[in-house]
Chain A
Amino acid sequence: MPKRKLLLTFPPNLVDKPITYHLVKDYDLELNILRARVTPKEEGRLIVELSGEEEKLKSGEEFLIAVGVGVEPLALDIIFYEDRCTQCTACAGVCRSGAITVERKEMKIIFEKEKCIACELCITACPFHAVEIKF
């Protein structure tokens, strides 16, 4: 089943509307919320993974755009600065997506960008500013 990771931006007037509900109900899409930040009367941001038939994915996206939701393919730019990393492994204890693991013999960090769900826990956990996220 085709999948798509999207960054949805909700303008203030849409924040209190049940829009994702329609994606499920009317477009038969499976919706996995990876990350959400919604503040009342302000902009809301949602990172979702949508899966469904190609045709329905397309109409779902069209629906979102028509009601005024910003739709962008998720181009997460997670930067792992190898030179700033001290291999302390503080990030590994908080990473739940499996993107950060430790090669246990060397005790060295392995960072797999494609597994990252942009939860940003590693950014908070890292004492050396070795991870940055831009989106």
Chain B
Amino acid sequence: MAKTIQEINEKIKRGEVVVVTAEEVIDIVAEEGVKKAAQKIDVVTTGTFGPMCSSGAYFNVGHTRPRIKFGGGKVYLNDVPAYAGIAATDFYLGATALPDEDPRNSVFPGKFEYGGGHVIEDLVMGKEVRLVVQTYGTNCYPRKKLETWIGLKDMNEAVLFNPRNAYQNYNVAVNLSDKVIYTYMGMLMPKLGNANYCSAGQLSPLLNDPEYRTIGVGTRIFLGGGIGYVVWNGTQHNPSVLRGENRIPLRPAGTLAVLGDLKAMSPNWLRGASLVGYGCSLAVGIGVPIPILDEEVLRATAVKDSDIWAPVVDYSQDYPQLESKILAEVNYSQLKSGRIELMGKKVPTGGLSSYFKAREIANILKSWIKSGRFTLTEPVASLPDSRTGIVFKNLIERPLSSKTE
């Protein structure tokens, strides 16, 4: 029995909707079977919370008297540079941006204590930050310098806009060398001393809709504690990777570009992150509702950690040298047990994505839908799937001397 999103929304409005999380649905399907569960359940909620570079926010702070043009000048929030090449008082702050005076990795490994992600967290906490602008004057925008405190409430718009979030599956990072290495996948101890993973597995949004049947452009989501939208596929969206029989990607695959009102978000679900030796990032909480349109959609949401396999990659040599070597494949049930077996060795595991918080997000979204404050949207366009033949390319370099301008 197929349902439509409109029918589900009517059930939400009548307070009759049946919502379960992507964790709860597993047992329901095991006990009652797909057919019965698909009739009963209207929505399955997913969640994920992990450091996601390719996050950031754009702002408009209004005009000063006399006017100043940020565009073409330099803009700093708490000493962290923002991108000003948009307009007079619009700018974008990326999660990985660092203060000019941050020592970075000059004393290795750098600590990266404060960056763009931390500024975003501070703003969402309600703190005021230092806005400093230096620019050139024009006839219509004569002012050249601005220094002021500013908070979210003072701004016209503050919009979280993340070009790539919610990776559908990800590498498990290990270190085969004999020295500690510091990566965006955390600190990796020598000779397979630990293995780090970063996915919510069975709760992760795109792993519950592996072929993007329901999640598309325009899907309303939980974003950073507020409401946001999927606005496009994320960058590096790679739907054509190797998939298992259950159609779950065996490699990092799809991604989402998401956007939402930063003013309505909460520091519980947006947290600045410092990856020693690597840089700054932003941990983002995302929850996506999956409308149970038919049995196939439901079957996909019942995926278990033990059915989701991730590639183990060496980050000491293979990853930095762009070698596509996979050491092994392990599943998320093994990863979450705290130890995996790798090349004859028992290797302790650590996560970067918080399953605990992913579960909280799925439950919050469930309560929002049950209470009627969150309805589902019909996607206005699909995300590119494996049939589109879209493949994530590496950069082919061509020497500048090979061509005259």
- What are 27 A-B pairs at a CB distance below 8 A? A86-B271, A86-B283, A86-B357, A88-B351, A88-B352, A88-B353, A88-B354, A89-B355, A90-B187, A90-B352, A93-B194, A93-B195, A93-B196, A93-B348, A93-B349, A94-B193, A94-B348, A104-B336, A104-B337, A107-B351, A107-B355, A107-B359, A124-B109, A125-B186, A125-B350, A127-B352, A128-B272
Within 8 A of A (CB), among B325-380: 336-338, 348-357, 359
Which A-chain residue is minimally distant from B347 (CB atoms)? A93
Question: Bound state CA distance, A118 and B47, in angstroms?
Answer: 34
Count residues on chain A whose CB falls below 8 Å from chain B CBs: 20
Question: Bound state CA distance, A102 and B281, in angstroms?
Answer: 24
Q: B189 interface residue, CB < 8 Å from A?
A: yes
A108 to chain B, nearest CB (A): 5
A99 to chain B, nearest CB (A): 14
Contacting residue for B276 out of A87, A91, A124, CB 8 A: A124
Interface of A is mostly: loop
Q: B274 interface residue, CB < 8 Å from A?
A: yes
* Interface flags, A79-118, vs B, CB<8A=1, else 0: 0000000111111111000000010101110000000000
B119 to chain A, nearest CB (A): 15
Contacting residue for B356 out of A91, A108, A124, CB 8 A: A108
A104-B187 contact given A88-B353, A94-B350, A129-B274, CB 8 Å threshold = no
Q: Are A107 and B356 in contact (CB under 8 A)?
A: yes
A130 to chain B, nearest CB (A): 10
Question: Bound state CA distance, A129 and B273, in angstroms?
Answer: 8
Within 8 A of A (CB), among B258-295: 271-276, 281, 283
Which B-chain residue is minimally distant from A95 (CB atoms)? B348
Q: Are B186 and A127 in contact (CB under 8 A)?
A: yes
Q: A121 interface residue, CB < 8 Å from B?
A: yes
A127 cross-chain contacts in B, Cβ below 8 A: 51, 186, 273-275, 281, 283, 352
Question: Bound state CA distance, A125 and B275, in angstroms?
Answer: 8
Q: B91 interface residue, CB < 8 Å from A?
A: no
A86 cross-chain contacts in B, Cβ below 8 A: 49, 271, 283, 354, 356-357
10 shortest interchain CB distances as A-B pairs: A93-B350, A87-B356, A127-B273, A93-B194, A107-B355, A89-B351, A88-B354, A90-B350, A86-B354, A107-B356
Contacting residue for A92 out of B189, B348, B359, CB 8 A: B348
Task: Count chain A CB atoms within 10 A of each CB in B187, B193, B281, B337 and give the residue with the most.
Answer: B187
Q: Which residues of A contact B (CB under 8 A)?
A: 86-94, 102, 104, 106-108, 121, 124-125, 127-129
Question: Bound state CA distance, A92 and B356, in angstroms?
Answer: 14
B337 cross-chain contacts in A, Cβ below 8 A: 104
- Besides A90-B187, A90-B351, 10 other A-B contacts (C-beta < 8 A): A86-B271, A86-B356, A87-B357, A88-B351, A90-B352, A92-B350, A93-B194, A93-B196, A107-B355, A125-B350
B174 to chain A, nearest CB (A): 10
Question: Bound state CA distance, A118 and B161, in angstroms?
Answer: 40
Q: B216 interface residue, CB < 8 Å from A?
A: no
Question: Bound state CA distance, A104 and B355, in angstroms?
Answer: 10
Q: Are A121 and B50 in contact (CB under 8 A)?
A: no
A106 cross-chain contacts in B, Cβ below 8 A: 356
Question: Bound state CA distance, A92 and B352, in angstroms?
Answer: 11
Which B-chain residue is minimally distant from A86 (CB atoms)? B354
A128-B271 contact given A90-B196, A94-B189, CB 8 Å threshold = yes
